Amino acid sequence: MDVTPGQLRKMFDALPGVVEGPCYGTPGFRVKGKLIARLWEDNKTLVVRIDPTERDVLIDVEPAVYFLTDHYRGHPWILINLKKIKAADLKRRLETAWRARAPKPLISKRDR
C-alpha cells in the first residue's frame, strides 16, 4: 500500500500518450488532451475518471480507499486514497481510465 509519487508517475509513463501537466494547481495526466486523472490538493488523493456505476460499487466495498465529495457527485470521477490503495489495484484503475479516454488507434497499438 501507500503509492508514492514516483510509482504513480511510472504507472502513467506506462500508458501510451499520457502527458503530465498542470490541472487546478496540481499535476494532471491527460491522453490526447483528455483528463484521466489529477493529484488532489492534499497530495495523498488521486482524482480518477471512472464509470459512475463502477464508482458506486467501489465506494461501497472499500470506503477507506475510494470516496467521493459533493463536488464530484454527478460527474464520472472517483477519489482514491493513495495511502490505502494497493499499487496493482491503482494500476488497473488507471488503465481503465486511460482506455475510456484514449483514441482507438492508441488502444490498438497497446494491445498488440
pLDDT tens string 35-44? 999 999 999 9
Pick from 31, 101, 40: nearest CA to 67: 40
How confident is the model over 11-34, as pLDDT tens digits?
999 999 999 999 999 999 999 999
| pTM assigned to the model | 0.94
Name the CA dihedral angle for 33, 29, 35, 84, rounded to a multiple of 10 degrees.
170
**Cβ atoms within 10 Å of 6's Cβ, excluding its own:** 8
Q: Tell me, what's the pLDDT at 28?
A: 97
95 falls in which pLDDT band (50, 70, 90)?
A: very high
In this predicted structure, the answer to whether residue 112 has a pLDDT above a threshold of 90 is: no
Q: Tell me, what's the pLDDT at 34?
A: 98
Q: What are the structural domains, with CATH classification, of the chain?
A: 5-105 (3.90.1150.30)
